[in-house]
Structures are given as C-alpha cells and as structure tokens.
Amino acid sequence: MKKIYKDLTRIILSAILLVLSFFMKENSLLYFISLLGSYLIVSYELYIHAFHHMLEKEFFDENILMILATIGGFCIGEYREAVLVVLLFQIGEYLSEIVTNRTKESITGLMDLRSDVIHLIRNNQTLTVSTKNAKKGDIFEVLPGEVVPLDGTVLEGESLLDTSSLTGESIPRSISKDEPVLSGMVNIDRVLKIKATSTYETSTASKIIDLMEHSNDKKTKTEKFITRFSKIYTPVVVLLAILIAVIPMLFGSDFEKNLYHALVFLVMSCPCALVISTPLGFFQGIGRCSREGILVKGSNELDQLTEIDTIAFDKTGTITEGTFQVTHVYTKKKKLDLLEIAAHCEVFSNHPIAKSIVSSYGKEIDRGEVCDFQESSGKGITAKYRGVVYYLGNASYMNDQKIEIDSQPIDGTVIYVASAKGYLGYLIMNDQIKPNVRKTISSLKKLGISKILLLSGDHRKTVEEVSQKVGITEFYDSLLPQDKVAKVEELTKTYKVAFVGDGMNDAPVMKCANIGISMGGVGSDIAIEASDIVLMRDDISTIPIAIMISSFTKKIVKWNIFLAISVKVLVLLLALLGFSSIWMAILADVGVTLLSVFNTFIIALKPLKKPR
C-alpha cells in the first residue's frame, strides 16, 4: 500500500511540473529544468528495473522501450511528448497495480482466517498465548466474536459459527458437543471449550492461506506464450525502429523526421497490455472462485479446467454424505455383541466407515483394551480386542485371510467380521446421497463434460444403485486405490480428466488426473495437498461454477490479447507508413492497457448463468 501512495505522489509531482512548463517560455532554462525534473521524478524506476533486468541478462523489455523512446524524444527536442509518454505509461502501471491489489485484498479478506492468540486452559486457569505455542491436544476457549484459532472438537458449549470465510456460506452453522470445528470459523454467540486436533502450522486456516499466497505462482500456457513472445518481440521491435530511422536516410530523407517515426514505433510497440492483463485476468478468476468457496491453487489449474471433458467421482464422502449408519447386524453367535467388537477394533481408523461404526455403537470405548491395530488400505483392518484377534473388512479382505463367509445379496455396504477361529457375522451400513448431486451431474453434461464416471471400492450392487440415483451411467466397483489410479491413468491417455474425491486413498488418483478436486471440510489433509482445486463447502455443485468462471476468464484473457495485438498492428503499420503521431501511439498503448485491465473486472462482477 505504501508503494501505491509513493507512486501516486511521483505521478502528481511529475504532472504538476509538466503543466507548469506550459506557462514558461519554450526552450528557456527554466522550461527545460521543469520538464527534466518531471521526467526524472516519474521515470527513475524505469532505469532501476531496466538495470536489474540487464544484470539478469534480460536486455529487452518494456522498460528499455520506454527509455529509448523518451531519450530519443529529448534528442529531437520533443520534450513534452517524451515526458508525457513516460507519465502516461506510469499512470497505466499505477492503475494496474491498484486493480491487482484490490483483487489480492478481496482474496485475503476472505482468507483472513488466522487468530494470532489462543485462550488455553491449563490447571483450571485461562492463559492467553500465541497460537504458535499451542499443541495438538490442548484445550482452549473461544469467546463470542472470536475466530476459532485451531481445528478441534467441541468439549463444552453450544453456539452458532460463521463459516463464510471458509465456505462462502452465509447461513451460520449450529455446533454442539463432540462436533468438529475448523480454524477460521467465527464464534457468534456463546463460549465454546474445544480440544485442539491441529497445530498452528497444520490448521485448516494456515493451509488455505498458504494455498492463496501461492495461487498465482504457476503460469498458464497463455502466460508462458506471452513471456516467450515478449522476449522475441521486443528486440525485433528495437531493430525495426533502428531501420525506420536509418534506411530512409540512405535515400536522402530527413533524419529528424525518420527518428520521430521510429520513436512513435517504439512507444506503440510496448507490450504492456499483454504483459499486465493476462496474469491479472487469471488472478481475477482465482479471486472470483474464492468468493464462491472454491480454492484454485494457481492460474495454470484454472486454465486447465476449461479443457476438462471427463470427470471421475469417488463415491463415499463425495457423491454420498460419508456418514454411514449401521442398519443391520447379523451374528452367528447370539451372545456375541458384534457391534461392540467392531467399534473397538475400528476406533483407531480414520476411514469414514470406521468412524460411523464407532458412532453407531454410541458408547464409551476403552482404547486400552485394543492393541496390534493394522489397516490394509481399501480392504479392512486387523486388531486385538480383549486378547482376541479380529478381522474386519470386505469380501476381498476375508479372502486374503483365508476366511469363508456367507455369500448372499446384501443391500448396502457390508463389513464382515471374523476372528482367528473363523467367520462371526457382518454389519450392513448405508450411506445417504448428498442433495443436488443429480442436478449437478446434469449441469456438468450441459457444460460439455461428455464422460462422467463413478469409481468406488464398494460392491457392485451399492455402486450401481447410487449411480442410477444420481444419473451416472458408467461406474466401476470393488476398486482398490491402485485400481482407481490405473483407471484414471487409462482415461488420461484419451481424455482430459478431473478426479473428485475426499479421502487419503484418493490422493494418488488426484495426482495422476489432469485436475484433482478435493473436499475442503471433510477431505483428508493429504487429499487437499494433492489436489489442484479445493471445494470448501464439500459441495460438488460448485464444480460447474468453477468451470464457468474458468471458461469466462479464458475468454476475457483471449479478448484482451486480440484487442492489444490488433490495435498495435494497426498503429505500427501507420507508423511504418509515416501516418501516425506520438500522441496516437501514447493513446493507443496506454488506452489499450487500461481497457484490458478494466476488462478483467468483468470476471469479478458478471453474474453467472447457472445451467438448469
């Protein structure tokens, strides 16, 4: 912000000196000093930037073009025009910087999530310390109006939480004992006592801020093209300007007149509109997505989203709620409490099914009675409970353990239970489909997503039933994590694929897809880090919104490129023919730059027409 005020001060001082020159006698010493002062005040940063670029072996850029054009203007006595060229150039840069900063502020405003202090409860006393000093497992209080400093689980209290900074959702969320809360949420009306499940560095708020701070690091193909184009374009322009000034002299033409035309050519050729508006356009698109509760990790990811023609969805936690309920328990031994055994054995697992079994049990669990816990990803677990080794998992896992199970049609997700002595029974679990999933699938098809698949580790009957309910015709069941990876890798050979998931097992699949999309709330840390786009509302209905923003952003960027190149080519041709003036060059260059910059505002302001 200080730089913006400093730049504005320089521009105002330079403009004042330029205006004063009109009240002075032309070619007098005072007249020359006034214009030279105006020029130096507004242009010294051009020389500094050009010097630094030369040290980095970048000898041709817009700074060099401006310097050559203005020095040439002074050489032929066009003092006011030379000053005006650089003054208008700096005004354009200043306005561009304001637009960029406002976009950044709109993002950081949404991402102003972290609390620097935390009220820790230790030895029945409340200590206010730096959040960086808090540890996982600490108990802390959050007062009304305060930001939740760390992810955690509510121990005491009920309150409403404002989650808009995280999800974009304006309706407050009711929270009570044993429910999870995320850092960045704002406590509205009552005191909450919370047990930390993260540290300052691993909290949701820190991860989101890190994502946004690095969101513009990776360049798109368009931006890379503009960078390469500028490196070739600028030296070619300088060479042409020299030829415009020198060649007509060989045929007896006036040197000063030719030099003027060469300067017009230099001023007009400055690629400011291309260099500024392209990254700014994508940055505006990222900002618009963040306001919709969609975190895009970079402009490259936003650009690639327009190319997606295939989307593969994970089922549990993505298409469905991921909150299973045990709806039936079958045991071969009537006195055996199969649900109690299953809940104790699954207590150390983070899988949604394991958590749902524990939740369905609903009683206090003594973790000290469970040991030797082992988890086989995508299959099941082995654990010792009260001295007995138990096996819990799907049919494939039971087969691996050489345990024979009942073969029967089952409506729902089945978890088989066995001990070292043999098969004991099973639990049937059912999951609910998230609202608006069918409508979202329909919207994606209307946006040109030609291929939509469902990939799941669940058995065929359940996956088929879910697919039919949401309108997905192609599905694959009984997939292990490596099977999902193989399937997505196969798809990427023919299609541009996005994979949408939430669990730890989905992280490798996201990495091999063209675009990985994860759930920000229920998603695992690894899945969020592996993905390119994070849906903070855990709502796949925001995917069509992200695609529309991506498509519109790219359209604006392409229009800006077309506008800049078209106007420049026209005025450059006029300059070559000797019909353009330096005033025309100034207006065309700065005008196109400003028009391109303000055109990017449409990305942030245009209402989205959501497909029906």
Same domain, 10 and 38: yes
- Please, which pLDDT band fits residue 438 given cuts at 50, 70 and 90? very high
Same domain, 468 and 439: yes
Domain limit, last residue, from 430, 453, 487? 430
Q: What is the mean pLDDT of residues 340-363?
A: 86
Co-location of 362 and 446 in the same domain: no
Clarify whether residues 181 and 121 are in a common domain: yes
Do 507 and 383 share a domain, yes or no?
A: no
Q: Is residue 207 part of a domain?
A: no
Q: What is the pLDDT of residue 215?
A: 47
Q: Which residues are annotated as catalytic?
A: 314
Establish if 501 belongs to a structural domain: yes
Q: Return d(Cα 400, Cα 379) in angstroms, integer.
A: 10
85 plus 230 within the same structural domain = yes
**440 contact partners, CB below 8 Å, separation of at least 6:** 540, 541, 543, 544
Look up the CATH number of the domain holding residue 336: 3.40.1110.10
pLDDT confidence band for 241 (50 / 70 / 90): confident
Assess whether 365 and 402 both reside in one domain.
yes
Over residues 528-541, the pLDDT tens digits come to 677 888 887 788 99
Lowest mean per-residue pLDDT among 2-6, 115-119, 206-210: 206-210
What is the rounded distance in angstroms from the CA atom of residue 188 to the CA atom of residue 609? 33
* Helical spans, DSSP H, in 254-407: 255-269, 272-291, 299-304, 338-346, 352-361, 395-400
User: Is 425 among the domain residues?
Assistant: yes
Q: pLDDT digits over 63-119, tens only?
A: 776 777 777 767 767 778 778 777 877 776 776 677 656 655 555 554 456 678 899
**Mean pLDDT over the full length of the chain:** 80
Do residues 278 and 223 make contact, with C-beta atoms less than 8 angstroms apart?
yes
| CB 376 within 8 Å of CB 393 | yes
pLDDT confidence band for 169 (50 / 70 / 90) = low
Residue 170's pLDDT is 52
pLDDT in the model for residue 200: 81
Q: Are residues 383 and 446 in the same domain?
A: no
Is pLDDT above 90 for 451?
yes
Region 601-610: mean pLDDT is 72
Q: Which domain, by its residues, includes 291?
A: 284-320+433-545
Which residue in the block uniquely carries the two structure tokens 């310097």? 67
Determine what percent of the chain is predicted with pLDDT higher than 90: 16
Tokens of 251: 């045929």
Total domains in the fold of the chain: 4
Tell me how far apart the alpha carbons of residues 78 and 329 are, in angstroms, rounded to a whole number.
91
Beta-carbon contacts of residue 292 (< 8 Å; ≥ 6 apart): 168, 542, 545, 546, 549
Flag whether 210 is in a domain: no
Residues 525 and 574 in one domain: no
Q: How does residue 255 score in pLDDT terms, banded at 50, 70 and 90?
A: confident
Q: CA nearest 211: which of 106, 132, 111, 103?
A: 111
Phi, psi of 221 (to 5 degrees): -60, -40
Helix (H, G, I), strand (E, B) or coil at 319: coil
Specify whether 442 is located in the same domain as 535.
yes
Do 304 and 329 belong to one domain?
A: no
Phi, psi of 332 (to 5 degrees): -80, -15
- Based on the fold, state whether residues 11 and 46 are members of the same structural domain: yes
pLDDT digits (tens, 9 = 90+) for 375-431: 887 788 999 998 899 999 888 888 888 888 876 656 677 889 999 888 998 888 877
Exposed, middle or buried, 401 (CB in 10 Å: 0-12/13-18/19+)?
Answer: middle
